[in-house]
Chains A and B, each alone.
Chain A
């Protein structure tokens, strides 16, 4: 028997290494469940989960919903568009009203950093952060780590590179603490305007030259250029970004190393990643999506069982 040290899953920086190991180990079991003729277990059958998506999502939302259903939980879905949020209801009121209907767990995505943490301090249900602003996206970090572990056996000693908009990326916000806790080395690469000023304080190194960075790494996670988070111009143009920081076949072949390519999706094909890389054998992008369901099942199971 073992339990997570946390009641909520707000960010990976709050987890211990043993928590991450526990989630990976439990995800192994759920991955096996997902191969069965009947891909469903009754563990969470007396639990109701609300998926509150105040911001758009395809992958994460479907993945969470599938994970909940595979665990036999009851689910309700909420999206900000077409709800009372438009009438001016506050976040806390919305959540409290949903909890009044006897909901046990909340999965929440919000465009404001810290939203999940704020809710966790005011209510009693277990909260899973499904992405909050530019802060963290813990289940994405976990599934990234899990997918790399699946390929390499362990994360310890690996060189992990994150390319692109680190400043606005909650994926980087979760990947960095996860990889460091598990003993990997982390480097970031991208235009200086998209790199947080004090990134090195985290124990992460910075390399502005993409080719040099690729030569260093075993695994490269290519981030999406998030046009919706750029109120001001951080880069002159997409074309220029693609020229300097786009990962393509020619560049990868010039690096004498078999690098694994990841992407959290959705891909801007031809901008940060070319199709001849995204759809190649080096890419584990679809394995990431597949593993997402098992990882989310593990997180839900372990949090729900902590009562």
Chain B
């Protein structure tokens, strides 16, 4: 099967704009809200969302962090090799805040489970919401749902959803590739 593009750069931009407006509807001026991207790929999306929000609201200073969940994974010692961590950069307390957790693809839900554990080590947030660009809703292993979803994709397990960004991959797009290709 040919790789299938499901969001090109134009559609992706529209989706991001919609997600931002949904966030604004809920979080108003973001004075009690923080955006946290999950390493590695969620940080790219979170950065975009953060830039766009500040552009739309015409303000700066919306709190933004990066969270690595490697040390919270549930498959340590089950893979033969330890996973290497990326940088965690959260220089604020999440105590009493509304946390918007951002990841690119929601698949089994295990990453988000780990992220929830990790977030709590930075304080007790008032609430935690999940924003994802792609929701592969048929592949969940845990009861986890996103509040803000860019696009729902009903793909089978052999397929991979790839989210690519201009900054790192040369072009903004989301596409599906099959393992059999």
Q: Which residues of A contact B (CB under 8 A)?
A: 1-3, 22, 25-26, 29, 32-33, 36-38, 40-44, 46-47, 301-302, 304-307
- Known contacts A42-B71, A42-B72; decide if A3 and B121 are in contact (CB<8 Å): no
Return the contact of B123 from the options A2, A37, A43 (Cβ within 8 A). Answer: A37
Measured between alpha carbons, how far is A301 from B71 in the docked complex, in Å? 9
Known A-B contacts A37-B93, A304-B77; the reply to A29 vs B88 at CB < 8 A is: yes
Given contacts A29-B68, A37-B93, contact A305 B82 (CB under 8 A): yes
Interface of A is mostly: loop
Q: Which of A29, A37, A38, A305 sits near B81, CB closer than 8 Å? A: A305
In the complex, what residues of A have CB within 8 A of residue B117's CB?
42
Query: B84 at the A/B interface (Cβ < 8 Å)?
Result: yes
CB <8 Å contact, A1 and B93 = no
In the bound complex, CA of A37 to CA of B68 (Å): 16
Asked if A302 meets B87 with Cβ closer than 8 Å, knowing A37-B122, A42-B72, A43-B71, the reply is no
For chain B, which range describes its interface: under 10, 10 to 19, 20 to 34, or 35 or more residues?
20 to 34
The 8 A CB mask of B79-122 against A (1 = contact, 0 = none) is 11111111111000100000000000000000000000100111
Is B76 interfacial (CB 8 A cutoff)?
A: yes
A40–B121 CB distance below 8 A = yes
CB neighbours of B77 from chain A (8 A): 46-47, 304-305, 307
Interface CB pairs A-B, < 8 A, 26 = A1-B79, A1-B83, A2-B82, A2-B84, A3-B80, A3-B82, A25-B84, A29-B85, A29-B86, A29-B87, A32-B87, A32-B89, A33-B71, A33-B88, A36-B122, A37-B123, A42-B117, A43-B76, A46-B77, A301-B71, A304-B76, A304-B77, A305-B76, A305-B81, A306-B82, A307-B80
Q: A26-B85, A43-B72, A305-B77 are in contact. List 20 more A-B contacts (CB 8 A).
A: A1-B84, A2-B81, A2-B82, A3-B81, A22-B84, A25-B84, A29-B70, A29-B71, A29-B87, A32-B87, A37-B121, A37-B122, A38-B121, A41-B121, A43-B73, A43-B76, A46-B77, A304-B82, A305-B76, A305-B81
Chain A residues in 8 Å Cβ range of B86: 29
Our count of residue pairs bridging A and B at CB distance below 8 angstroms stands at 67
Cβ distance A209 to chain B, nearest Cβ, rounded Å: 45
